[in-house]
Amino acid sequence: MSASAINTQAGDLVMTASIGISPSALPEVLASSDEFFRKADQNLYEAKRSGKNQTVMSD
């Protein structure tokens, strides 16, 4: 998501997003929900380290 402005009474509110994605459709990659969230969390922080408006998906 690129920067989007929302007009408010206090002024413009600008938002960006960084997203981490983990492949839930591959059971051989993800043995449990803990593994799913661990991979998604790793990807989220990698996206944040890469800068604004990033998406990272694990292999």
- The predicted pLDDT at position 22 comes to 65
The secondary structure of residue 23, as a DSSP letter, is: -
- What are the tens digits of pLDDT across the range 35-52? 778 888 888 888 888 887
pTM over 0.75: no
